[in-house]
A and B are shown apart, each in its own frame.
Chain A
Amino acid sequence: MNIFRLLGDICHLVAIIVLLLKIWKTRSCAGISGKSQILFALVYTTRYVDLFFTYVSLYNSVMKVIFLASSYATLYLIYVKFKATYDFNHDTFRIEFLLIPCVILSLLITHDYSPVELLWTFSIYLEAVAILPQLFMVSKTGEAETITSHYLFALGAYRALYIVNWIYRYYTESFIDGIAVVAGIIQTILYADFFYLYITKVLKGKDFKLPA
């Protein structure tokens, strides 16, 4: 463990909690893409299948449980409890166009063809693009609630910090996982446009609105 990865995990946790609080406090999931949340739940489910038979550390197991529980709780809030506030008209990204390429790619490029490893690889590729429905929805509505922009910033920062963690691990442990690094870089690049808007607008107290 290193400070970059710890900060990354904390950002990730903050993002998930901010989203849950936003929906719970405002009793509304307006502006939130349920499809992205479905993809995230799928990412954690396929990545943490080893939760019950591979023990890395208490921290690792606890965080996995938190990520799994919170992602399904978010799905429950969006699709059950506050279903009436779900903006399905704007949440129209075709997630099969993400799922199918990720399945194919995880069969073509993977470290190992064991079921657990294939699921892990699939989850890495899927996580890289899981935010697209949300970014697509923000681009369609042209704006996002400030709290939602904080959620997106924290979520983007988490994987950006993981890139720093991989650089650190490369130089200190000569550890490198090409699949995770390439997917992580793509994932972070997808946030670039959002990061720019967030820093130039939200941090200056303005609303998060895309230039018309």
Chain B
Amino acid sequence: EDDNTHHDEL
């Protein structure tokens, strides 16, 4: 899965 759709930054 495109890791951009999991945002780990605030």
Contact = CB atoms under 8 A, between A and B. Distances in A.
Contact of B10 (A9, A54, A112, A114): A9
Given A111-B2, A112-B4, A175-B3, A180 B9 contact: yes
Nearest to B4: A111
Interface residues of B, number: 9
List the 3 closest A-B pairs by CB distance, nearest first. Answer: A111-B4, A112-B5, A56-B8
Interface of B: 2-10
Nearest to B8: A56
A70 B4 CA distance: 27
A120 B5 CA distance: 9
Interface of A: 5, 9, 12, 50, 54, 56-57, 60, 63-64, 67, 111-112, 114, 117, 120, 162, 165, 175, 177, 179-180
Contact of B9 (A54, A114, A162): A162
A50 B4 CA distance: 14
Contacts of A54: 6
A51 B10 CA distance: 11
